[in-house]
Amino acid sequence: MSVIGARVKRLEDRELLLGEGRFAADYTFEDQLYMRVVRSPVAHGVLGEIEIDEALALEGVIAVWTGRDIAHLPPIDFRLTKIQDLPLCRQHVLVQDKVRYVGDPIAVVIADDPYVAEDGAELVFAHIEELPPILDATASPGEFVPGVSTEPAVVEKSYGDLDAAFAGAAHVFECEFEVGRHTGVALETRGANVLYNADSDRLEFFGAAKVPHFNRLAIAGMLGLEPEQIHLFEGHVGGGFGVRGELYPEDVLCCYAALELKRPVKWIEDRMENLMAANHSREQVYRLRAAVDETGYILAVDNEFFTSQGAYVRTHGATVSDLSAAMLPGPYMVPAYRAKGRVRLTNKTPCGTYRAPGRYESTFARERLVDVIAHRMGIDPVEMRRRNLIPPELMPYSRGIANHGTPLVYDSGDYAKLLDRLMDYIGYDDLRAELAARRAQGELVGLGLGYFVEKSGLGPYDDVRVEIAGDGRIEVITGVASIGQGVETVIAQICAETLGVDYQTIRVTHGQTDRIERGMGAFASRVTVMTGSATADAAGQLRTRLIETTSERLQLPSENLTIVDGWIRPIGETEGPSMSVGDAAAAYLDDHGGQVVSVEATFEATHMTYPYGIHLAIACVDRETAGIELERIVVAYDIGRSVNPTLVEGQIAGGMAQGIGGALYEEFLYTEDGQPICATFADYLWPTAQEVPDIESIVTEDAPSRTNPLGIKGAGECGINASGAAIASAVGQAIGDPGAITRLPISPLRLNEILNRSL
Amino acid sequence: MTTGSAKHEIRLNINGVDHDVIVDARRTLVDAVRDKCGMTGTHIGCEHGVCGACTILIDDEPVRSCLMFAVQAQGRKIRTVEGLAIDGEYSPLQQAFHDHHALQCGFCTPGMLMLSTWLVERGTPVDDEELREVVASNLCRCTGYQNILKAVRSVLDGDKP
């Protein structure tokens, strides 16, 4: 039986179920010190004197540092999508001159107890001359700080003859859509524990996540260390979602402190810090114009959008805006297109990526636009979509623009077929009639959908080393990271399939910079595609080597041998001469020497691979409370080839739950003077089991990827992509005005205003 | 001296084992369990009583251990995730969480397990509405809850894997 595609159970679970996980806060070392960050209490102001004497006098406080003490450290560099290098856009690890958002780090206190470190931080007083904050990302550009515009970058992409399309259009539609500020908010807050190992003269960073190899080089560069003087170690990670694991000021401060004090320094942020200092995301405004012919076929889209970047441009550079611009046309032909994405600095928490960055937002805008066009032209919304889908015969389909630094080419897909499958599954005609009947009875109930194209498998490379010892132990050493998504299981499945062994005998190593020279990490739904492909390659080579060794020992032709359940024997036979893979490895080592048989492989990709899907929601609105009940959620998704369907469905359900949060509940709101008012879980509302219905998923394999030999596409972001779009669409239909919802989240307050207006 | 920083010698009984520790009065129970007793299976998610990651059982009732001081737990019966398995054998709930893919990152899992252990041990019927209400006490960011609900339901129903 093939183990790729099987619903096997996870290898990761045991430690986590027993309470033996190793999350960032779980490491404690001898002589441990604790760091607490003092943060700006105002959104914008000139930083004056910082009084630290009282804090320094507190028993147990070891050090207090301000921006002056670390002025020699450069600001944190971009990791992706670099914009014109304006150092003043980037964040110093401690404020040098002006505070730019509530939460901006201005000092650190190091103490021998975490409670004392907090006491010390309370005693630090910063004199700040307040300035009025800039909070509106759509206002005309001005000066953010001296020498830096509020618009440090504009992302532009276009193809086709836009002017001709608009000139010849039967209809032109103009709409504005907005997605509120929210973010990943993992249950584990950020944290690190860094120690200086005197024996090896190196820093050891525990609690790494997402991109340990990149961060290793970045931290080394900032602190003036050689790369071999620092290693990062990933334990368990309590959720990533794009946010956790990027390089933040606190990570560098922890390393700096450990190096200076030559004692382990631990930093665990509290939830309030997490909600105002870790990357925010989303907050975009789209102004769309569409040229449409008399049949509802979209001829062109002109897309000007604004991203409220927050106070600094962090490691992601202009990634979110780049993806928004490239992915807005989605599954539709749209023969002419122009995007102008304005990155705007505001006195809010800096933004980065959050699961389906630029797609959650642009899919919302596109699908709302499609609903508006369909409604105004009297076309059924499903039919409207069908008329505009890219047909399968045009695959692979190039838009002639770049996406995330790679050519945007949809490698495979049959978009209409997936729509048909979904419509069949739900019985669309009957369901539509049923909902119309309920509406006729006075219920506010509606069905909405959002079609989306995802992207996954971002390159450029990933390395894998597969090793087998003479006792049969197999290890796959990767340069990726695990953020809870099941990397170990999936990579073990791919290795097991190729090698012919039980996946449970395989150990998968990730996030350890001392085990493999380079690695790209876990983001952009890339791990299964990139590391999976490299694993299949390395395991295939190892298989050949073990079979050849067995062939020599057993005097059988290697082409007649196979590996089944860890035994190398003639094809089709279950008895007779055979060798276990461990014995074959031992034989190989006898001949060639060494501790393990080791094979390395690299998988490179110049293009991403593009899965696609549809989210469908049925929502019922309470006229009195403006509350929204999600009666049903269905996700149809073509993944090309599924390595573990149970884990794919888990990604869908989890992503959808977050998408529901962004659609209905989660938003970082600010007062007029830039104070964040959603900095606790009492105010930042994340969906509980009461708000998330059971999510039905239909996972298909109609369109295997053409970018990798296994035909696989990623699953990480497919659950969230069109969730906001579909829910907004359903609520619009429910209240009898399909174009009414132009902004997420659809809070009761906003929906009440709409209901008062339209009912 | 900071308020609450006076030291107290206390004995915490965790999973049947006594731990003699010295804590300041302000030290939360979860910090004492993790840092003083070295049992890091119980996690801290928000420290303001919303997320439930730190849920443990005290005298067999679920409690947010971030909202209680360690000194208040003296003489009480404390149960944490580390006490669920016996000789490495999963409890029925741990097994069900594994079987139903009810965890991804695993950070909420100890709290979810302790909360549902209480529900299962309560021994009275639980309909789906109440099950959702109870599980809604704790936050999970990865699973969308449905597999957690399925796992707990299977144990409540006495399903054999």
Beta strand ranges found along B16-113 (DSSP E) = 17-24, 55-58, 61-64, 77-79
In this structure, the answer to whether residues B76 and B133 fall within a common structural domain is no
Mean pLDDT, rounded, for A613-623: 97
pLDDT digits (tens, 9 = 90+) for A321-335: 999 999 999 999 999
Residue B2 lies in a domain: no
Measure B82 CA to nearest chain A CA, in Å.
6
CATH of residue B134: 1.10.150.120
Q: Do A723 and A450 meet the contact criterion of CB atoms below 8 Å apart?
A: yes
Of the candidates A115, A483, A646, the beta carbon closest to that of B26 is on A115
Residue B19 lies in a domain: yes
User: Within 10 A of A618 (CB to CB), how many other CB atoms are there?
Assistant: 24
Q: Would an 8 Å CB–CB cutoff place B130 in contact with chain A?
A: no
Residue B32 lies in a domain: yes
Kindly give, in sequence order, each residue whose CB lies less than 8 Å from that of residue A546, ignoring residues fewer than 6 positions away: A468, A563, A568, A581, A584, A585, A588, A597
pLDDT classification of B3: cutoffs 50, 70, 90: low
pLDDT classification of A612: cutoffs 50, 70, 90: very high
Tell me the β-bridge partners of B104. none
In this structure, the answer to whether residues B79 and B102 fall within a common structural domain is no
* B86: nearest CA partner in chain A: A18
Residue B161 lies in a domain: no
Query: How far apart are alpha carbons A728 and A612 in whole angstroms?
Result: 20
Q: What pLDDT does residue A411 have?
A: 97
Domain end point (choices B53, B83, B113): B83
* A694: nearest CA partner in chain B: B146
Query: How far apart are alpha carbons A419 and A382 in whole angstroms?
Result: 8
Q: Is the dihedral of CA B117, B120, B124, B130 positive or negative?
A: positive
In this structure, the answer to whether residues B40 and B101 fall within a common structural domain is no
* Burial A511-548, CB ≥16 within 10 A → b, else e: bbbebbeebbbbbbbbbbbbbbbbbbbbbbebbebbbe
Q: Would an 8 Å CB–CB cutoff place B106 in contact with chain A?
A: yes
pLDDT digits (tens, 9 = 90+) for A276-288: 999 999 999 999 9
pLDDT classification of A504: cutoffs 50, 70, 90: very high
Instruction: Identify the CA nearest to A518 among candidates A211, A225, A271, A308.
Output: A211
pLDDT digits (tens, 9 = 90+) for A626-640: 999 999 999 999 999
In this structure, the answer to whether residues B78 and B117 fall within a common structural domain is no
Of the candidates B47, B133, B147, the beta carbon closest to that of A650 is on B147
Three-state SS at A305: strand
Residue B57 lies in a domain: yes
Hey, which residues 544-563 in chain A have their CB within 8 Å of chain B? none
B148:A653 CB<8 A: no
A10:B101 CB<8 A: yes
Residue B125 lies in a domain: yes
B107:A20 CB<8 A: no
* B134: nearest CA partner in chain A: A689
In this structure, the answer to whether residues B28 and B78 fall within a common structural domain is yes
Beta strand ranges found along A31-77 (DSSP E) = 33-39, 45-51, 61-66
pLDDT digits (tens, 9 = 90+) for A213-252: 999 999 999 999 999 999 999 999 999 999 999 999 999 9
Which domains does chain A show, CATH number per domain?
18-132+189-237+244-277 (3.90.1170.50), 352-456+609-758 (3.30.365.10), 459-604 (3.30.365.10)
User: Within 10 A of B131 (CB to CB), how many other CB atoms are there?
Assistant: 18
Mean pLDDT, rounded, for A125-139: 98
Range of the domain at B51: 7-83
In this structure, the answer to whether residues B57 and B29 fall within a common structural domain is yes
Q: What are phi and psi of A678, to 5 degrees?
A: -125, 60
Give, as one character, the DSSP assignment of residue A518.
-
CATH of residue B67: 3.10.20.30
Measure A344 CA to nearest chain B CA, in Å.
29
Q: Would an 8 Å CB–CB cutoff place A650 in contact with chain B?
A: yes
pLDDT digits (tens, 9 = 90+) for A399-414: 999 999 999 999 999 9
Q: Would an 8 Å CB–CB cutoff place B6 in contact with chain A?
A: no
CA distances from A508 to A193, A514, A526 (A): 23, 15, 17
In this structure, the answer to whether residues B107 and B56 fall within a common structural domain is no
Residue B48 lies in a domain: yes
Measure A466 CA to nearest chain B CA, in Å.
25
Of the candidates A119, A689, A695, the beta carbon closest to that of B135 is on A689
Partners of residue B84 in chain A, C-beta under 8 Å: 18-19
Q: What pLDDT does residue A759 have?
A: 59
Hey, which residues 475-514 in chain A have their CB within 8 Å of chain B? 483-486
In this structure, the answer to whether residues B13 and B75 fall within a common structural domain is yes
In this structure, the answer to whether residues B15 and B76 fall within a common structural domain is yes
In this structure, the answer to whether residues B75 and B121 fall within a common structural domain is no
Q: Would an 8 Å CB–CB cutoff place B48 in contact with chain A?
A: yes
Measure B46 CA to nearest chain A CA, in Å.
5
Domain end point (choices B29, B55, B83): B83
Residue B1 lies in a domain: no
Measure B55 CA to nearest chain A CA, in Å.
13
pLDDT digits (tens, 9 = 90+) for A199-209: 999 999 999 99
pLDDT classification of B1: cutoffs 50, 70, 90: low
Answer whether residue A737 shows pLDDT above 60: yes
Q: Pick from B104, B116, B153 the residue to mutate for testing the A interface (most A CBs within 10 Å).
A: B104
Partners of residue A184 in chain B, C-beta under 8 Å: 141
Q: Would an 8 Å CB–CB cutoff place A645 in contact with chain B?
A: no
In this structure, the answer to whether residues B70 and B44 fall within a common structural domain is yes
Measure A629 CA to nearest chain B CA, in Å.
15
| Sheet with A265-268, side-by-side order of all strands | A61-66, A105-111, A33-39, A265-268, A191-197, A202-206, A230-233
Domain end point (choices B83, B108, B131): B83
Q: Pick from B107, B114, B149 the residue to mutate for testing the A interface (most A CBs within 10 Å).
A: B107
Chains A, B: CB contacts within 8 A come to: 173
Q: What pLDDT does residue A629 have?
A: 98
Q: What pLDDT does residue A655 have?
A: 98
Per the structure, the count of domains in chain B is 2
Three-state SS at B95: helix
In this structure, the answer to whether residues B121 and B71 fall within a common structural domain is no
